[in-house]
Amino acid sequence: MLALLFAVFAFHLKLKKVPDEKTISHFASFMSRSFEVMNKIAPECQFTLLTGEKINLSDIVGKKCIVINFFATWCEPCKREIPSLNKFYEKLSKMNVFMVGVSSEKMAVIEKFLEENKINFHVAVDDGEIEKKFAIEVYPTTVVIDGDGKIVAYITGAIYNPEATLEPKVKSAVAMIQSGKGISKEQFLKQSKIQSPYGLKYQETKRGLTEQEKRIAKQIYCPRGCGKNLIECDCSMCREAIEEMKEEMKKCTSEKEIVKKINTRYCSVKDD
């Protein structure tokens, strides 16, 4: 029996792919980011809804629990989690909850996406500023802000069980607000300014680029599909593309091949 168990275990290890150092580092960075932002005051931002209405975070924080779901139209996990998030929102929509999906793509692209993937909660279009402030590097990412204006959940990856991952945090925040303990707008704005801004690492990366790196980066399109290149766009996803560009340069890959390889990898252009 022991021999059989050992054989099964060994076979399992052989079949299971062991993640390389880059993959481990990649996921570790997401986990560490979650720990970095937890219980910190959220950065002030403004949501521009598809209806044209503009809502400042400071106008609703302390009055409602805020749930922000960062998504991309090309992201399959984002699509798969929508039904679960819709049910979650329908369940708690009568409570003091403001839930919004945020995408940094063009409005026309978002609207077309919503024709096939109905989202029952608010949807806002972002020029990259909100993603930058919340240090978004992977889609989907869901953030919960409580009555104190603090980030109490920072979840990367699709959510299929919001009852377990989101609901306890949301109900706790709503209870705080209903008891009259929510933070005031003035207090929030004051404390938010004290907190260090998030998502600035990729800016440092760009400032440190050599002239050759800048030349190549200008030929590579933003992974979000906004039409800008890695230098022009402020999207945090450009940081990963820039790092991949540098890795290819170390391999002595030609500039033309680097541009084609990375653009094709992110589906920014089709591979002829």
Q: Are residues 232 and 171 in the same domain?
A: no
Q: Are residues 33 and 150 in the same domain?
A: yes
Number of domains observed in the structure of the chain: 2
Q: Do 97 and 64 form a contact (C-beta atoms < 8 A)?
A: yes
User: Quick one: angle between helices 237-250 and 255-265, nearest 10?
Assistant: 140
pLDDT at 228: 81
pLDDT band at 114 (very low <50, low <70, confident <90, very high): very high
Q: Are residues 163 and 31 in the same domain?
A: yes
Q: Which two tokens stand for residue 247?
A: 């890795």
Q: Which one is predicted more confidently, 267 or 175?
A: 175
pLDDT band at 13 (very low <50, low <70, confident <90, very high): very low
SS3 content of the chain, % helix, strand, coil (to 5): 50, 15, 35
Domain boundary among 154, 173, 194: 194
Nearest 5 degrees, angle CA 183-CA 146-CA 37?
105
Domain boundary among 194, 216, 237: 194
Please check whether residue 183 lies inside any domain of the structure: yes
Task: Characterize 21-57 residue by residue with b for buried, 16 or more Cβ atoms within 10 angstroms of its Cβ, and e for exposed.
Answer: eeeeeeeeeeeebbeebeebbbbbbebbebeeeebeb
Please check whether residue 272 lies inside any domain of the structure: no
pLDDT at 138: 85
Across the beta sheet with 65-70, what order do the strands follow? 54-56, 46-49, 122-125, 97-103, 65-70, 141-145, 151-156
User: Quick one: angle between helices 167-178 and 76-92, nearest 10?
Assistant: 40
Q: Do 44 and 56 form a contact (C-beta atoms < 8 A)?
A: yes
Pairing mode, if any, of strands 141-145 and 151-156? antiparallel
Whole domain around residue 64: which residue ranges?
26-194
Q: Is the pTM of this model over 0.85?
A: no
Average predicted confidence (pLDDT) for the chain: 82
Q: How many residues does the chain have?
A: 272
Please check whether residue 107 lies inside any domain of the structure: yes
Q: What are the CA-CA distances from residue 209 to residues 39, 128, 174, 215, 253 (Å)?
A: 34, 21, 46, 10, 17
Count CA within 13 A, CB hemisphere, residue 270: 1
